[in-house]
């Protein structure tokens, strides 16, 4: 794609400032959500395609900065009545993986929704979000480069996107909206719920490559975005 991946753009401050103004960031978020809507509801009749690795590296940007979801190497197709219970060996990228995937290996459309929520927070700010949201300091979430550029960011729009992202990263999959509701929320046709809890954090036991005895080392992974 002409502009590479979203990760490529974020890694280059000059390109990020030039290519990702506020309206473009919103368009990128909207197009990712529309892509997931297609995968979860429209791509195959009576089935759901779960991507399982939504992250900045797998979001490609065309010449007009429209986002395209890429890398379907670990995607799975589920029947609608099995989406929440289907299990498979855990995989994906730390920082974007829903807690139930690491803890039980369970994937569903809601695990993609969790990854989308993390991605939205990253697109908006590149910082931890819950503490600022809880203190109603939502404007502090906005990328400083957007403020420096004098972008006109409407409070109502910012609140809607951040609140929707925090709903996506709820620890309990049942508390996350499905992709249909997310698209409706982004188009301002659906009322937003209030997040029930901070973004998920969880303890997991992960094997170490240097330990050949089969023992595991306790490691904590948590939903946070590096600045």
- pLDDT tens per residue, range 4-61: 999 999 888 899 989 999 999 999 999 999 999 999 999 887 888 999 999 999 999 9
Q: Which of 70, 62, 53, 72 is nearest to 4 (CA)?
A: 62
39 lies in a domain? Answer: yes
Let me know the angle formed at the C-alpha of 39 by 81 and 88, rounded to the nearest 5 degrees.
55
Cα–Cα dist 55/30, whole Å:
15
Range of the domain at 196: 6-222
Catalytic residue among 53, 109, 112, 143: 53
Specify whether the CB–CB gap between 116 and 33 falls below 8 A: yes
CA distance 179 to 189: 14
Residue 227 within a domain: no
Give the per-residue pLDDT at 153: 92
Residue 53 catalytic?
A: yes
Q: How many domains does the chain divide into?
A: 1
* Range scoring the smallest mean pLDDT among 54-58, 72-76, 84-88, 152-156: 84-88
Q: Assess whether pLDDT exceeds 90 at residue 89.
A: no
Does residue 1 fall inside a structural domain? no
Q: Is residue 87 part of a domain?
A: yes
Q: Is the pLDDT of residue 114 over 60?
A: yes
CATH of the domain at 191: 1.10.510.10
Domain assignment present for 40: yes
Dihedral of CA atoms 200, 205, 206, 212 in degrees, nearest 10, equals 180
């Amino acid at each position: 794609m002409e502009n590479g991946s979203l990760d490529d753009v974020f890694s280059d401050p000059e390109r990020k400032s030039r290519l990702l103004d506020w309206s473009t960031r919103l368009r990128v978020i909207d197009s990712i959500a529309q892509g997931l809507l297609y995968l979860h509801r429209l791509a195959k009749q009576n089935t759901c395609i779960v991507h399982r690795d939504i992250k900045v590296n797998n979001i490609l940007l065309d010449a007009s900065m429209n986002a395209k979801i890429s890398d379907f190497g670990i995607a799975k197709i589920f029947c609608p009545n099995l989406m929440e219970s289907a299990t498979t060996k855990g995989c994906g990228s730390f920082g974007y993986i829903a807690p139930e995937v690491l803890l039980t290996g369970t994937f569903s459309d809601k695990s993609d929704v969790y990854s989308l929520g993390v991605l939205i927070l990253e697109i908006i700010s590149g910082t931890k979000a819950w503490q600022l949201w809880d203190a109603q300091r939502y404007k502090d979430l906005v990328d400083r480069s957007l403020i420096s550029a004098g972008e006109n960011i409407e409070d109502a729009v910012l609140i809607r996107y951040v609140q929707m992202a925090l709903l996506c990263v709820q620890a309990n999959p049942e508390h996350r909206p499905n992709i249909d509701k997310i698209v409706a929320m982004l188009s301002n046709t659906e009322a937003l719920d209030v997040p029930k809890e901070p973004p998920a954090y969880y303890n997991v036991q992960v094997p170490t490559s240097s330990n050949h005895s089969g023992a595991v080392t306790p490691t904590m992974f948590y939903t946070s975005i590096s600045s």
